[in-house]
Structure 1
């Protein structure tokens, strides 16, 4: 193993044995290092191919205290399922008490280690303390939820020397594990597990609405079984208030089941405890749907699941095609058309899956009339459209049917300039329309139920600035907003809470906003690009304009970077990744079809959108 350091730091070799034919790397965990108290770095494991398994070696006899600390930290980056090797660096009581599953702390680089008060030569007392230090990037909590966490990191580990064997071991240490970013990216992968929206109406077709809940699991430690256990444990804390699980409380894998593997027919059989037997047929179908959506996000090879209850009794089974009758899933609903404004600021469209460059006006007032538009949004069933007038003052909603009239505006802004008026509107899967009024004298986020009626003013108690742009997720329980304060913009994701009582207007709030672009100072454009992913255009402090995918938890998907698009002003994407990314740039409307280059669709166009 060699160091993987940023900034060109010196690489020091660490003794390792590699078995290439077996795909196994053994970390010695006992590199030669001085123990006189100098600042020392624990070397990060370099990126490995996904098929390579990395295992640590236990401490050697008479290992120095410094070797024990370094060996322990290296063992944390291995693929040892239960961290059994890491525990060998601990005393027996410490090994029993240590809870590695409680958290993972991610640092810019692997932690440096320094002996406290080395000048006092306290080794002869049989007690030593080391400080682990670094700069934090993120944390993963006990429910496997990722969160950016910038700032200094400093934790202590205490070592003791056994009076009989004279071997050094760690007897006090922080809970959880810690590692550098490169090791984290090699060890962990982000996977969506799925629940159902609990505080919103059913989808347009009456099914439950699937909601993605991203978590990080160890990619080389039976991730399939990890994900099933994580799904059964319930949603992450942030999402929990707005989703439900169809698995009865207390449902778990059958006792004794340690690993799950699909059969040669790509069916995954999941034996559950007797709690699962309480579910009826409809609930069981929902349980199977949650499992299948989750497994297919991990690996597309699973195309059916079977749930078994007490005594191995079959509860239900479900194929991929049958999930459509159970739940509405944004990423599998392919949009029929791509929409944008032509040179006369009227709404036009082209077939979303075609290579056509010949748009046609949409039926109805927004395509056939003479009203100039600044921005548009099309409902997810593609039956209705909302358009903001060219001056940004008025929002109109009308049918995408020939002969439909425009009618009166459903929302009006009194902002004095175009930049202080209405944002681009956005639809969720329930047919509700969202828009923000940027008027500095009365800024507000508005919800129009089914795109009509008196707007509901959405509560935003944690909003750190004025909304510049807004996009609601298809599931209707998450919302992305670009917020501007002191000339800087950031992209935040919040949870939509609804309190609805019969006969009363709903109380709708956006809560627990968190940044998904930490370090950025400008966000030019954004769009949802998957069940838990957005595509963002902007720049970091002192950086250049860039386009990047980000996850709703603030993590960055590994290896996914859209091709650069100079002069980009707007971006459009869909939860369905089978349709191309579309942009509005100095070259007009362009799209990123299969291949590395953007292609021009039409020179004279603006404001591209997919349904949503």
Structure 2
């Protein structure tokens, strides 16, 4: 059921009243909840030992008000919007009390629109005369969450028109009889009502878990939603880059995942019995990793420590295996400084024994395979020489080689299988082995007629982040990498957009399993800064490094490095809250990958 959308602005024939936003109402409710939740401090009883761990935050209980008999059309709409967030923890009974007629078929699970600011509701002047009216408004959209829990960020300036049809009943009470399916949640309250949840899916070689971010309501069904999503499989863009170990047709038998004494019982349909013993063990480890890592840290949710599987109520014998690890960057940072390669150790630049020479080259970007900083066996240094050559530098027992020639080549990125990713700005993306032999990558239609800026392969080898420019402006997109049985890249999936408000981009890197770092500008920014964009989440901006020209990252935000136009290398402080100058005379910096 979809209400007609239209733009509305105050003017002739309409009146705009003082905004009483959903946020205002909810903040008032929050105050009442906190006051009502106070508890006394015990003054007697035994002394017991306890773990030195911080207590989880207290749950926030919100009790939205049902509609008043004398409420105006605007108050009815505001009340309906205010009741939607708290409804995620129950059955939306209060929100539904604002509805009548065909609007009672309203489906809150269709999608979530995350917005900021005031809806600017407008009510026609003749609302009280006809017994019918339409309340309209416009919200500034931050992102959306689809029915599968996938969060998609939208660019600044995106708006959505609202329209609610209302009627008066025989007693003169206003109710909504036409409402759009889905929820509207203020961005500041998203974390109150929704739990960001990391699903995990194995790489095809079953070496690593790959993260897939989702958002589910913080309701008693949270673990049920999370497990159901695991069984349904990864997000569409990731489907051909990971594997699903649950056999086709595997579902929850009872649509609930009870937790008792820290043990979650996952009762599956009999289809799971067709899985091999190894797949059952991996499925159990997969589900356990999801609900142990992401369960809501509130007193309303019992911590989950382990998972047991059953099929139609009968326990399944499953070998216990540890969850697969998440892939990590395989070494430390290396910088080009004063014409030589050095290891970056905090504020110290250390000579690398046996490091290849940069003499006779014009290095403009570095790429590393393996732990070059520690002189690991098989490690190699890749250099973009000027803008037209990518070269592999000689190492002990290995000659140097020119791997790629072309115009405006991108900085090289090496994946865990040894494949090197680069290409000319005009495309296409080029993938080569360590000897410069190209492999054929299927056409990537979403990059047609776009200028390539930067590419970076995730440490798991299953995902690629691509920055490009073209019609519509810069885009930062993440795609799944499809490989054959030997690990050879064969195609890229359709992309998933991140950092949607980017208006200028210099380079992109992976900062951890769920986040990419973007050096560039977003709407309203005058200077280039580092943005941290969650893949399936929101983007945040770090403080400015004046004149920043290059970025590198290892495992986590604390490993971020930035080089400015004067050759100063900046790292994150111990608390990872500010930039700290670490070294000077640095031209380039890179981590393996």
TM over 0.5: yes
Q: 2:112 aligns with which of 81, 89, 104?
A: 104
Q: Which residue of structure 1 lines up, in the alignment, with residue 391 of structure 2?
A: 396
- Following superposition, the deviation at residue 540 of structure 1 comes to 2.5
Cα distance between partner residues in 2 of 1:248 and 1:22: 48
Q: 1:261 to 1:598 in 2, by over 3 A?
A: farther
Q: 1:528 aligns with which of 486, 489, 510?
A: 510
- Following superposition, the deviation at residue 515 of structure 1 comes to 4.0
Is 1:409 equivalent to 2:402 in the alignment?
yes
Decide whether the 8 Å contact of 1:456 with 1:506 is kept in 2: no
Runs (5+) with no aligned partner, structure 1: 1-8, 25-48
Decide whether the 8 Å contact of 1:111 with 1:179 is kept in 2: no
Alignment of 1:2-401 (within 5 A): 16=29, 18-20=32-34, 23=37, 51-78=59-86, 79-91=88-100, 94-95=103-104, 97-115=105-123, 117-119=124-126, 121-124=128-131, 127-149=132-154, 151-163=158-170, 166-198=172-204, 202=205, 207-219=206-218, 223-255=222-254, 257=256, 259-260=258-259, 263=262, 268-298=264-294, 304-316=306-318, 318=320, 322-323=322-323, 327=324, 329-330=326-327, 333=328, 335-344=330-339, 346-350=340-344, 355=346, 357-361=348-352, 363=354, 366=356, 373-379=363-369, 383-397=378-392
Cα distance between partner residues in 2 of 1:472 and 1:152: 33
1:476-513: CA deviation from partner (whole Å, max 9, x where unpaired):
33222222348964423334345x599xx978444534
The alignment partner of 1:534 has SS state of: strand
- Following superposition, the deviation at residue 360 of structure 1 comes to 2.4
Decide whether the 8 Å contact of 1:580 with 1:594 is kept in 2: no
1:273-300: CA deviation from partner (whole Å, max 9, x where unpaired):
3332332211012212322332354259
- Following superposition, the deviation at residue 542 of structure 1 comes to 4.8
Cα distance between partner residues in 2 of 1:548 and 1:228: 31
- Following superposition, the deviation at residue 250 of structure 1 comes to 3.0
Decide whether the 8 Å contact of 2:83 with 2:94 is kept in 1: yes
The alignment partner of 1:337 has SS state of: coil
Q: Which residue of structure 2 lines up, in the alignment, with residue 477 of structure 1?
A: 462
The alignment partner of 1:287 has SS state of: helix
Q: Which residue of structure 1 lines up, in the alignment, with residue 569 of structure 2?
A: 589
Decide which moves more: 586-595 or 297-306.
297-306
Q: Which residue of structure 2 lines up, in the alignment, with residue 42 of structure 1?
A: none
Cα distance between partner residues in 1 of 2:153 and 2:524: 20
Q: Which residue of structure 2 lines up, in the alignment, with residue 462 of structure 1?
A: 446
Decide whether the 8 Å contact of 2:84 with 2:92 is kept in 1: yes
Cα distance between partner residues in 2 of 1:570 and 1:501: 35
- Following superposition, the deviation at residue 471 of structure 1 comes to 0.8
Q: Which residue of structure 2 lines up, in the alignment, with residue 567 of structure 1?
A: 547
> Under a length normalisation based on structure 2, what TM-score does the superposition of the two structures give?
0.79
Decide whether the 8 Å contact of 2:342 with 2:349 is kept in 1: no
Cα distance between partner residues in 2 of 1:508 and 1:50: 49
Cα distance between partner residues in 2 of 1:183 and 1:58: 20
Q: 1:191 to 1:384 in 2, by over 3 A?
A: same
Q: Which residue of structure 1 lines up, in the alignment, with residue 500 of structure 2?
A: 518
Decide whether the 8 Å contact of 1:580 with 1:593 is kept in 2: no
- Following superposition, the deviation at residue 189 of structure 1 comes to 4.0
Q: Which residue of structure 1 lines up, in the alignment, with residue 419 of structure 2?
A: 432
| Count of residues in Structure 1 that have an aligned counterpart in Structure 2 | 535
Q: 1:349 to 1:456 in 2, by over 3 A?
A: farther
Cα distance between partner residues in 1 of 2:255 and 2:489: 46
Cα distance between partner residues in 2 of 1:270 and 1:473: 31
Cα distance between partner residues in 2 of 1:472 and 1:171: 50
Q: 1:155 to 1:148 in 2, by over 3 A?
A: same
Q: 1:511 to 1:244 in 2, by over 3 A?
A: closer
Cα distance between partner residues in 1 of 2:416 and 2:260: 34
Q: Which residue of structure 1 lines up, in the alignment, with residue 10 of structure 2?
A: none
- Following superposition, the deviation at residue 187 of structure 1 comes to 2.8
1:370-429: CA deviation from partner (whole Å, max 9, x where unpaired):
766332222257633241243233223367x6x23333312112x3xxxx2x22111223
Decide which moves more: 68-77 or 84-93.
84-93
Q: 1:256 to 1:154 in 2, by over 3 A?
A: closer
1:314-354: CA deviation from partner (whole Å, max 9, x where unpaired):
442646xx23xxx4522xx363322222311x43325xxx6
Decide whether the 8 Å contact of 1:334 with 1:579 is kept in 2: no
Q: Which residue of structure 1 lines up, in the alignment, with residue 534 of structure 2?
A: 551
Decide whether the 8 Å contact of 2:152 with 2:497 is kept in 1: no
Cα distance between partner residues in 1 of 2:591 and 2:292: 24
Decide which moves more: 184-193 or 282-291.
184-193
Q: Which residue of structure 2 lines up, in the alignment, with residue 46 of structure 1?
A: none
